[in-house]
Amino acid sequence: MASAANSLRLCLRSCSQLPTMRAARPAILASSLCLRRALSTTPLRGAAAEETTFDEDEFLETKRYNNQGEVLADMLKREDLDDADRARVKDMLETWNKVPQDVRDQIDATTRQVRQSTAQIRYQVKPKKASFWNDDEKDTDMITDEVGEDDFEEDDILSIGHAKLEEHREAREYARIAVWEMPLLTKFARPFEPPTEAQPLRFRYTSYMGEFHPAERKVVVEFSPKDFPGLTEPQQLKLMKLAGPRYNPDKGLVKMSCERFEHQAQNKRYLGDLVQKMIATAQVSIPLGPCLCLDPTDMFEDVPLDTRHHKLTSKPRFPKEWRMSEERRAELESIRRTAFELDQKKQKSGRLVDGVKIIEKHLQNVPVMEDQPVMARRVGKQPARKR
């Protein structure tokens, strides 16, 4: 199916070119062909075929008309027209001759302007065979003046600019909340009260400022077995063994988390019930079946506390022996005092060596050679000379 651009090009060409050229084309092409040789397997070759190749665009360019009257007058000369078409062409020619000259000039100017504006789509550009994928050539079939809804007309910024403006609006919104709404929360502020012995559990939540996030449901609880006043030391040790890898021996805390439920309150309730079950297991027996239950006197004494899950990192500490004590400070003071008194005695007797004076005296005795330049001697390993 031909495109709109090719259809317009063919219509303009048929209206402004000689009508008889289409009929004359087969004869011209027939004259340019050469006969095939019988019983031959070689393809056609010859310079004569290339010289007589018919170029329709070049041939039609030489047959242009100045106005529509010349086109109609030339159509009357055709012999293949029937009587009805010839009568219709005569009527059109008479009507054209009655048109005033200024109207003719206006029609010719309009036709010339249309031809100039459609010059790019009337002539098809032949792609070069040497080009790769015809990248350097323009496809005239894709030329169109229609503007769609999604076309960019240089009247708006790009999507990157819109995203930047959206970030700016979000920052201004949070700044507005911090200035006007956050100060109103001061009336709900309460002084800090440290947890009491009746509150040994410490819960931690995660909030994303009102936005939905799958990690927001997670709740973490931390507690120390030593914070429960109702547990004895064997029961506390049993609770540590029940916690397993969730027990941190360095901090002495048990840390557990839950995110299996949709809301934070549900996860918190599950952790609270789990801690109660662990405490009950460390204190009393729990039935495991109709005839099987744990022995409340069994404190897991034969099971050692497994801490292999926790890697102990030993930090280097300053040795206690190297710390400054009063005895060491007094000893250093006595050594410094003895050395100072020895230097005073040597100075009085003239046996104290002053390095600064010795260097200055040596520099005064060194002669200065002003006429000859001083050559710096290269220090280091000298290269071996070639023999």
Asked if residue 341 belongs to a domain, the reply is no
pLDDT more than 90, % of the chain: 34
Integer Cα distance of 20 and 67 in angstroms: 17
Q: What is the pLDDT of residue 62?
A: 46
Q: What is the pLDDT of residue 333?
A: 95
Q: Which pLDDT tens digit goes with each residue over 44-63?
A: 555 444 444 434 444 344 45
Query: Which residues have CB under 8 Å from 90's CB, separation 6+?
Result: 76
Chain position carrying tokens 């098809």:
124
- Asked if pLDDT for residue 144 goes beyond 80, the answer is no
Is residue 101 classed as helix, strand or coil in its secondary structure?
A: helix
Asked if residue 220 belongs to a domain, the reply is yes
- Asked if pLDDT for residue 168 goes beyond 90, the answer is yes
Domain boundary among 106, 124, 142: 124
Q: Mind giving me the DSSP string for 74-100?
A: HHTT-SS--HHHHHHHHHHHHHHHHS-
Phi, psi of 119 (to 5 degrees): -65, -30
Residues 111 and 207 reside in one and the same domain = no
Q: Which pLDDT tens digit goes with each residue over 174-207?
A: 999 999 999 999 999 999 999 888 899 999 999 9
Asked if residue 14 belongs to a domain, the reply is yes
Q: What is the pLDDT of residue 26?
A: 42
Chain position carrying tokens 């009507």:
95
Specify the CATH number for the domain of residue 261.
Answer: 3.30.160.20
Q: Check residues 20 and 246 and name the one with the higher pLDDT.
A: 246
Domain boundary among 76, 97, 124: 124
Confidence of residue 130 (pLDDT cuts 50, 70, 90): low
Residues 10 and 118 reside in one and the same domain = yes
Residues 114 and 9 reside in one and the same domain = yes
Asked if residue 210 belongs to a domain, the reply is yes
Asked if residue 107 belongs to a domain, the reply is yes
State the pairing for strand pair 247-248/219-223: unpaired
- The pTM score is 0.40
Q: Check residues 314 and 327 and name the one with the higher pLDDT.
A: 327
Number of domains in the chain: 2
Mean pLDDT of 14-23: 46
Domain boundary among 85, 103, 124: 124
Asked if residue 296 belongs to a domain, the reply is no
- Mean residue pLDDT across the chain: 76
The mean-pLDDT minimum among 41-50, 80-89, 236-245 falls in 41-50
- Asked if pLDDT for residue 250 goes beyond 80, the answer is yes
Q: Which pLDDT tens digit goes with each residue over 304-323?
A: 999 999 988 888 888 888 88
Query: Which residues have CB under 8 Å from 116's CB, separation 6+?
Result: none
Asked if residue 298 belongs to a domain, the reply is no
Asked if residue 89 belongs to a domain, the reply is yes
Distances in whole angstroms, Cα of residue 362 to Cα of each of 357, 371, 376: 9, 22, 20
Helix, strand, coil abundance in the chain, percent, nearest 5: 50, 5, 45
Per the structure, the complete domain to which residue 218 belongs is given by 202-283
Phi, psi of 25 (to 5 degrees): -65, -45
Q: Which pLDDT tens digit goes with each residue over 348-372?
A: 888 888 888 889 888 888 776 665 5
